Amino acid sequence: MKSAMHPESLMMTYGYKPELSEGAVKPPIFQTSTFVFKTAQEGKAFFEIAYGLREKGRNEELGLIYSRINNPNLEILEDRLCLWDKAEQCAVFESGMSAISTVLLEFLKPGDLLLYSLPTYGGTDHFINHFLKEIGVDSIGFRPDHNINEIIKMVEETGKSDKLALIYIETPANPTNVLIDIEMCKEVANHFGTSEKQVYLATDNTYMGPLWSHPLQLGADLVIYSATKYIGGHSDLIAGAVLGNSEVISRVKTLRTFLGNMASPHTCWLLLRSLETLKVRMEQQARNAQEIANFLKQHPKISKVHYLGCLEESSKSFEIYKRQYASPGAMIAFEIQGKEREAFQFLNHLKLIKLAVSLGSTESLVQHPATMTHTGLCPDLKKKIGITEGLIRLSVGVENYEDLIADIDYALDKIEYSEDYDFERNENRPRLKRRV
């Protein structure tokens, strides 16, 4: 049974017994490939469980065998990650992409149909539209503005609705923070599922988890993370995680054993270090983000701010936001008046905020989706989902927000417009004041 304490109280100690490691207060790095069995009988028993040849006995744990299958750092990390999402089991991977591709390979077979939300992370999109397509997995994408009836109709029109095996969503959608309704997607999964064949729902929760959103509680079967982002949080590692009930995670872990894409003991150790400060980091990042969003909203050179803390209370998005999220998060996208030239002038004049892709780290990072993370999208989709030339994505870090705002203000000031530049009206500002 899981403890009733808050996860943040357990991130320093849960799942680790100092007496097994010379009393060390922190788990050592178990930098070993293999583990010594006490007896041949013990080795046999461990392998029977690892290979699923028999059920675990009462109180029987999977013993340590070989670090591709299990390792103390990996196991402690997986136990701690389960606490945030109240999951039965977790599998940690060497990258977010290996977590995602392993889930897609386990739950989709040639001939199956995948339904997924647009836009999705570039690597995920590539895996779906190149690798999966080539092995005979068809897919269709839906946009956040499609409603449940439209989505069901789209699936039916493929003529393969009986082959629908997985729904894969990413919310809030990168880079503009558009929301996908998780419970609505579960309804779609139930609509096409039968007593013989369940349609599974997987959610990439990298943007808001594991602190502010718990998709498993809203009906998702699998929740996926790029642990490179908030969970790792220091831009010093690449990792991924998948959580869910024992049935689905056993399947994922079995495939992981044979693909060999588990995280290393050292990466797991770094992630254990990171989990201790996860909540304080994310809360500070969200506080900073709200201050920055408020500043951007009233700036004359900004035409739009996409931040969940700025949603209209009467909008459909606000209703989904209230149901799914406990915070507006720390990711902001905003549109600079102008084109690529003006956006680049802004980016090139930032000093404290670093120009780099990735997100969720202690330092603030900024990038230009149209020419960087989303450069591969077709122009039509870019337009439909609002990836304009002036769009900037900002991942807010733990710095003092006044310094971040000063940095942004300076760089905005450095954008030069021609005398007769026709400013769009910024709906957040009552009056257009020209500061050219």
What residues make contact with ligand PLP under the rule CB under 6 A? 95-97, 121, 123, 170, 174, 204, 206, 226, 228-229, 238, 240
25 in Cβ contact with 272 (< 8 Å): no
In DSSP terms, which residues pair with 324 in a beta bridge? none
Token pair in block for residue 201: 């729902």
CB of 433 to ligand PLP, least distance (A): 36
CB of 336 to ligand PLP, least distance (A): 22
Output Rg (C-alpha) for the chain, integer angstroms: 23
Instruction: Please name the residue that has the structure tokens 């996409």.
Output: 306
Amino acid identity, residue 107?
A: F
Question: Which is closer to ligand PLP, CB of 67 or CB of 226?
Answer: 226
Question: Which is closer to ligand PLP, CB of 15 or CB of 123?
Answer: 123
Distance of CA 220 to the CA centre of its chain: 14
Token pair in block for residue 71: 């390792």
Find the distance separating the first CA and the last CA of the chain, reported in whole Å. Answer: 62
Question: Which is closer to ligand PLP, CB of 168 or CB of 334?
Answer: 168
Question: Which is closer to ligand PLP, CB of 97 or CB of 155?
Answer: 97
CB of 239 to ligand PLP, least distance (A): 6
Distance of CA 253 to the CA centre of its chain: 19
CB of 240 to ligand PLP, least distance (A): 5
Q: CA 150 to CA 12: how far, in whole Å?
A: 47
Count Cβ neighbours within 10 Å for each residue of 354-369 and write b for 16 or more, e otherwise. beeebbbbbebbbbbb
Question: Which is closer to ligand PLP, CB of 97 or CB of 180?
Answer: 97
Q: CA 230 to CA 115: how far, in whole Å?
A: 27
Instruction: Please name the residue that has the structure tokens 């908030």.
Output: 230
Residue nearest to ligand PLP (CB): 96
CB of 358 to ligand PLP, least distance (A): 7
244 in Cβ contact with 219 (< 8 Å): no
Question: Which is closer to ligand PLP, CB of 206 or CB of 364?
Answer: 206
Token pair in block for residue 184: 């609505």
CB of 205 to ligand PLP, least distance (A): 8
Amino acid identity, residue 180?
A: I
Question: Which is closer to ligand PLP, CB of 10 or CB of 259?
Answer: 259
CB of 318 to ligand PLP, least distance (A): 22
CB of 121 to ligand PLP, least distance (A): 4
Distance of CA 7 to the CA centre of its chain: 19
Question: Which is closer to ligand PLP, CB of 121 or CB of 269?
Answer: 121
* Element of type H or E holding 371: none
